[in-house]
Amino acid sequence: MTRAGIVDAAATLLREQGVHAVTTRAVAAAAGVQAPAIYRLFGDKDGLVDAVAEQVMAAYVAGKPPAEGDPVADLRTGWHAHVAFGVANPELFALLSEPGRAQRSPATAAGAEVLRGRIRRAAAAGRLRVDEERAFGMLHASGVGTVLAITGAPADARDPALADAMWDTVAAAVFTDAPASPADDLVALLTTVATVVPSLPALTAAERAMLGEWINRALHHLR
């Protein structure tokens, strides 16, 4: 109970006043505990900030709606929700964008897996122009960059259409308008086939692995 109260108090300070307000003294006062309790539970201020970031991010990821319907429309909705979350939580987003902190965050990893799963749905529907890993990198980078561009500008100088413009630009490079056919896009077709290789019947695990390797090699050559 004490740990939860401390994290909640620190999250409120972070949200209302920014990361610089999350001091051991301020958090202890807000949570009604002594400072040694914070050191005992979290080690130091960085440990406390990590716990706060993890809690808020985990709640956000857990609240993501299930993917259903058109896979590209689902990705668009999720991408815009990600940008909106970052703009609403700029201090937290900046913390989670630090490479070291992001790499050790289970909640951030869970969010990445949600994105990968939705990209896999688009690939299985024949809607990718690029392979899944490239699609993940482009959507992730554009989402992070859009948030940082918006939050880095003065409130009265922000471009209200930036997020839509970024999505439209990246989506045009990542997705096809309709499922691919042989005459359309070899990369899209190979990417689609790659999604079903792990479950192909009548093949051994070694044969499926070899087929997956051949497809990935071809995709790498076609990039």
Amino acid at 98: E
| pLDDT tens digits for range 117-149 | 999 999 988 899 888 999 999 999 999 999 999
Question: Rounded to whole angstroms, how far apart are CA atoms 26 and 54?
Answer: 20
Q: What is the CATH number of the domain that holds 36?
A: 1.10.10.60
Question: Rounded to whole angstroms, how far apart are CA atoms 175 and 122?
Answer: 8
> Chain-wide mean pLDDT for the chain?
86
Percent of the chain with pLDDT over 90: 35
pTM: 0.72
- Taking residues 1-30, what's their average pLDDT? 86
Give yes or no: residues 85 and 127 share one domain: yes
Q: 157 with 77: CB under 8 angstroms?
A: no
* Enclosing domain of residue 84: 64-222
**Between residues 93 and 75, the one the model is more confident about:** 75
Give yes or no: residues 70 and 39 share one domain: no
- How is residue 175 annotated by DSSP? B
Give yes or no: residues 118 and 163 share one domain: yes
Question: Rounded to whole angstroms, how far apart are CA atoms 214 and 201?
Answer: 18
Three-point CA angle 40, 58, 67, nearest 5°: 170
- Taking residues 43-48, what's their average pLDDT? 84
| pLDDT tens digits for range 178-194 | 775 544 567 777 777 78
Give yes or no: residues 195 and 92 share one domain: yes
pLDDT value of position 82:
93
Percent of the chain with pLDDT over 70: 96
Say whether pLDDT at 110 is over 60. yes
Give yes or no: residues 30 and 111 share one domain: no
50's tokens: 């990590």
Give yes or no: residues 134 and 182 share one domain: yes
The number of folded domains in the chain is 2
Give yes or no: residues 78 and 30 share one domain: no
Give yes or no: residues 47 and 122 share one domain: no
Last residue of a domain, one of 34, 56, 78: 56
Give yes or no: residues 83 and 179 share one domain: yes
